[in-house]
Amino acid sequence: MAGLGVGIGWRSELDLSIERMAGVDFLEVVAENLKPARLPESLRVLRARGLTVIPHGVSLGIGGAEPPSPARLAHLAACAQALDAPLVSEHLAFVRGGGLEAGHLLPVPRTRASLRVVTENVRRAQDALPVPLALENVAALFGWPEDELTEAEFLAELVERTGVGLLVDVANLYTNQFNLGLPAVAALDALPLDHLAYVHVAGGYEHHGLWHDTHTTTAPQVVLDLLTELCARVTPPGVLLEWDDEYPSDAVLAGELSRIRTAMALAGECR
């Protein structure tokens, strides 16, 4: 995955902004918003310019007790093939149970029993996909009371068992530090960063004592500092900005990409 560069999440609301923007090296698109047989014209234009596009799933539910849906896996596979993507990414999250949808990316219980189930789910997904799979750490508003492992320990063991790639979201690491007291820098030290596929950066806000990972504002400096910490440990194949609502001007988006590049460059000065 070397050489992805600095990217941005493609959204239909941002299509013209991204087409106009200089310095975007790769894209990520929410897989559930795609019809592989009829890709949006903007994505076809951007792909023709040579930009890599990665399908990013949000509903597979690989952290649930039930095996991942063959239909959802088939859709992810079709998206990867239509985009000629080098990998597919998803979340290490619980999203449904007993036919009920949570409507949110919920944290997985970090127990040994859960690890066995997730390991099997990941292997099923890997077998069904034509490209490698990378899993993202999620932002949590709560933790399960019987957790036996930290998030980083859980991910590290999952990588060891399956070889799955990591999509490290530094904004989510900060969210879990703020909300759950899980030290973000310690998580970076525990994660197997040699399996890093790429990185997410996003903004959020504090409300009633909790940090909400909203993807609707500029990234706080503490999140970019975590990106610098990550880059001091490993050179990431790619770093991608997420922005999902309350879309700003082209200048603001370009400024966020510049802040990301600055944070990455600071890591070189620290080495």
Please tell me the least confidently modeled range out of 110-119, 222-231, 245-254, 261-270.
261-270
Portion of the chain with pLDDT greater than 70, in percent: 98
Q: Which residue has the higher pLDDT, 256 or 103?
A: 256
What is the reported pLDDT for 2?
Answer: 58
- For 220, half-sphere exposure in the C-beta direction (CA atoms, 13 angstrom radius) is 16
pTM: 0.96
Tell me what pLDDT residue 143 has: 87
User: Domain range holding 28?
Assistant: 5-270
- What is d(CA 85, CA 163) in angstroms, rounded to the nearest whole number? 19
Q: What is the pLDDT of residue 71?
A: 97
Q: Which pLDDT belongs to residue 210?
A: 96
As given in the structure block, the two tokens for residue 29 are: 């698109």
Contact 227, 260 (CB under 8 A): yes
Count the neighbouring beta carbons within 10 Å of the beta carbon of residue 181.
8
Query: Percent of the chain at pLDDT above 90?
Result: 89
Tell me which of 142-151, 182-191, 194-203, 245-254 is least confident: 142-151
Question: CB neighbours of 42 closer than 8 A, spacing ≥ 6?
Answer: 10, 12, 15, 16, 18, 19
| From 19-23, 38-42, 94-98, 262-266, the region with the lowest mean pLDDT | 94-98
Instruction: Please say whether the beta carbons of 223 and 241 come within 8 A.
Output: no
Tens of pLDDT, residue by residue over 166-199, are: 999 999 999 999 999 999 999 999 999 999 999 9
* Strand (E) or helix (H) holding 259: helix 250-270
**Cα–Cα distance, 241 to 132 (Å, whole number):** 21
CATH of the domain at 229: 3.20.20.150
pLDDT tens per residue, range 69-99: 999 999 999 999 999 999 999 999 998 888 8
Question: For residue 7, what pLDDT is reported?
Answer: 98
Listed residue (79, 78, 88) closest to 164, CA to CA: 88
Predicted confidence band at 269 (pLDDT cuts at 50, 70, 90)? low
Helix (H) or strand (E) holding 145: none
Give the model's confidence band at 115: pLDDT under 50 very low, under 70 low, under 90 confident, else very high: very high
Query: What pLDDT does 98 receive?
Result: 80
Contact 122, 160 (CB under 8 A): no
CB atoms under 10 Å from CB of 268, counted, come to 11
Under DSSP, the state recorded for 63 is T
The domain tally of the chain equals 1
